[in-house]
Chains A and B, each alone.
Chain A
Amino acid sequence: MSEPLRLAGREFGSRLIVGTGRFPTLEILEAAVRESGAEIATVALRRVDTGTHGSVLDVLRDAGVQILPNTAGCYTARDAVMTARLAREAFETDWVKLEVIGDERTLFPDAPELLRAAEELVGDGFEVLPYTTDDPVLARRLEAVGCAAVMPLGSPIGSGMGIRNPYNLAMIAERASVPVILDAGVGTASDAVLALELGCDAVMASSAITRAEDPVAMARAIRHAVEAGWLARGAGRIPRRDYALASSPEEGRASFS
């Protein structure tokens, strides 16, 4: 992939961001992150668990990936802002994947709280990457308050249902002037291909890899999928049509009468 992903003033060769939740072991986490080729990986901020702290960070730092803290589990702007500030303190990064959840069952974002938190964090000097719905208007509002990217969901977090509304996603990508990163919903490689073909600049994959039967193999598959989608988009797909268009010439056919 020749053209780098430009995100918050930095350039990345990979257009895949990986999550680190629910890996069976740290060894598999490390192997999968390496196999994915990702240069950015998300982590959550939680209470120190006596005896086990630090290891995820060590693994990611050894793998040479940039750490992107998230605010997963926050249900209010206040909690998300506080979590982002603590993450900045802990990981020495201004980047935050902003999640403000509005509903336990769907884990969909709470739009007003999300926008409020985004505005406050941008004002506080953060590079804000908000997890948002696939609503083009909300995406524009998030961009307008200064977010470094928008991260619309394809379908609910962890559902593996892929991209339920490709038209909305394409609309968001068409009008955005910041990178659009498909966040939740990737279930397998084809979902990642579609995201890039629809105009997304990058893909976030978490459960698709960590909960796969073979996470390392799925990391490899999604890495290639992201590359394939980006290449296909650049190549320019043929227009769709209802009826056939022969690919062999009509002229010069033999006559057997």
Chain B
Amino acid sequence: MTRIRLNGCEREVQEGATVAAVLPLLDVAPDARGVAVAVDAEVVPRGAWGRHALADGAEVEVLTAMQGG
């Protein structure tokens, strides 16, 4: 198992899990629009979600639009 931090919460995921594989943990579809992902403070482009494997200790941020000024 691989331990990651997903939006600030500790999670255990399958070894070699990709960004696309962990998005459903947040109820986000692997092809969701209006969503952006950063891993260890680097943007992971949508097109790479399916192949970007998460290393142990990876910090994953999954962001979307919220009401804001």
Q: Which residues of A contact B (CB under 8 A)?
A: 19-23, 29, 42-51, 53-54, 56-57, 67, 69-70, 72, 82, 85-87, 89-91, 157-158, 184, 206-207
Contact = CB atoms under 8 A, between A and B. Distances in A.
Given A47-B8, A53-B35, A86 B63 contact: yes
Contacts of A86: 36-38, 43, 61, 63
A51 B34 contact: no
A99 B55 CA distance: 32
Task: Identify the interface centre among A20, A46, A85: most chain B CB within 10 Å of its CB.
Answer: A46
Contacts of B46: 89
Chain B interface residue number, banded: 20 to 34
Contacts, number: 105
B36 A72 contact: no
Chain A to chain B: the 3 pairs with minimum beta-carbon distance, closest first: A44-B68, A19-B69, A206-B69
B43 A89 contact: yes
A126 B48 CA distance: 22
Interface in B15-43: 26-28, 32-38, 41, 43
A72 B66 CA distance: 11
Contacts of B61: 47, 86
Nearest to A22: B67
A53 B34 contact: yes
A44 B65 contact: yes
Contacts of B33: 54, 57
A50 B43 CA distance: 21
B69 A56 contact: no
B5 to A, nearest CB: 12
A23 B41 CA distance: 31
Given A48-B28, A51-B27, A90 B64 contact: yes
A90 B66 contact: no
Contacts of B36: 45, 86-87, 89-90
Given A89-B36, A90-B63, A21 B26 contact: no
B27 A57 contact: no
B38 A82 contact: yes
Nearest to A53: B64
Nearest to B66: A46
Contacts of B27: 48, 50-51, 53
Contact of B65 (A19, A69, A206): A69
